[in-house]
């Protein structure tokens, strides 16, 4: 099984790297990459809960849509919460594709640096907001599968675990709206806590 976890560089050269708190399944890691893209499109330096929900919706809707009694009717509602319009989606994908192609071409034509030149800073990824970190901590508590890292059991977060914790977040407008949209909480919780298949 392959699990993905984005590694963040320490703030300064002397700081110890952060302790790994969890791993993400491949699907959840890709959803988070899309959430990052949504945050960047808003020129935000934080990935919010709505951005993560957007990433889950964009990447994993075929699987997660089954937790709504009428998935077709809820898509417009999710697009509204996540601030997704066809125009914005087209812009995100075109921009992503353009950056990917420029990166490949740029790698071959990178200008040579002279001695003493200061290398440009790499673009930094948006950090997770306080609310999103709280959701992920809750997902760590309910995750049924774990991986061993340095003798420690690390929870493996799935899309279902994260969606459930978004929907159960206390005092959250998004959580109230998700539940009111017809999200089948009982079925989602069963699959998050007792999945039929091992995570990938």
Tokens of 41: 């499109």
Question: Is 55 a member of any domain?
Answer: yes
pLDDT at position 88 over 70? no
Question: Is 178 a member of any domain?
Answer: yes
> Which CATH number belongs to the domain containing residue 84 in this structure?
1.10.1780.10
* pLDDT tens readout for residues 152-171: 899 999 999 999 999 999 99
How much is the pLDDT for 194? 94
Cα angle: 85, vertex 89, 90; to 5 degrees = 115
d(CA 67, CA 139): 18
Residue 25, φ and ψ in degrees, nearest 5: -65, 165
Question: Is 7 a member of any domain?
Answer: no
Residue with the two structure tokens 């599968």: 145
pLDDT-derived band at 41, boundaries 50, 70, 90: confident
d(CA 67, CA 61): 10
Neighbouring C-beta atoms of residue 169, cutoff 10 Å: 19
Tokens of 46: 């934080």
Q: Is 96 exposed, middle or buried (0-12, 13-18, 19+ CB in 10 A)?
A: middle
pTM of the predicted model, to two decimals? Answer: 0.75
Percent share of the chain, pLDDT over 90: 46
Question: Is 88 a member of any domain?
Answer: yes
For the chain, helix (H) and strand (E) counts, in that order, are 8, 5
Question: Is 79 a member of any domain?
Answer: yes
pLDDT at position 24 over 70? yes
Question: Is 109 a member of any domain?
Answer: no
Question: Is 139 a member of any domain?
Answer: yes
Tokens of 106: 């740029």
How much is the pLDDT for 158? 96
Tokens of 146: 């774990």
Percent share of the chain, pLDDT over 70: 73
Q: Is 164 exposed, middle or buried (0-12, 13-18, 19+ CB in 10 A)?
A: buried
Residue 114, φ and ψ in degrees, nearest 5: -90, 160
Question: Is 4 a member of any domain?
Answer: no
Number of folded domains that form the chain: 1
Range of the domain at 53: 23-100+126-193
């Amino acid at each position: 099984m392959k699990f993905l976890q984005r590694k963040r560089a320490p703030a300064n050269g002397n700081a110890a790297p952060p302790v790994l708190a969890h791993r993400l399944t491949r699907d959840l890691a890709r959803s988070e990459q899309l959430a990052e893209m949504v945050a960047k499109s808003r020129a935000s330096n934080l990935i919010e809960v709505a951005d993560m929900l957007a990433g889950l919706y964009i990447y994993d809707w075929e699987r997660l849509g089954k937790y709504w009694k009428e998935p077709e009717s809820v898509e417009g509602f999710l697009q509204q919460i996540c601030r997704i319009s066809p125009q914005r989606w087209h812009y995100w994908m075109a921009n992503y594709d353009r950056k990917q192609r420029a990166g490949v071409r740029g790698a071959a034509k990178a200008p040579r640096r002279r001695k003493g030149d200061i290398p440009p800073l790499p673009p930094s990824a948006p950090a997770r907001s306080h609310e999103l970190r709280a959701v992920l901590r809750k997902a760590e508590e309910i995750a049924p599968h774990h991986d061993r890292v340095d003798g420690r059991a690390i929870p493996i977060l799935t899309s279902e675990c994260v969606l459930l914790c978004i929907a159960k977040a206390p005092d959250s407008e998004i959580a109230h709206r998700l539940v009111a949209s017809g999200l089948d909480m009982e079925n989602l919780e069963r699959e998050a806590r007792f999945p039929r298949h091992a995570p990938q």
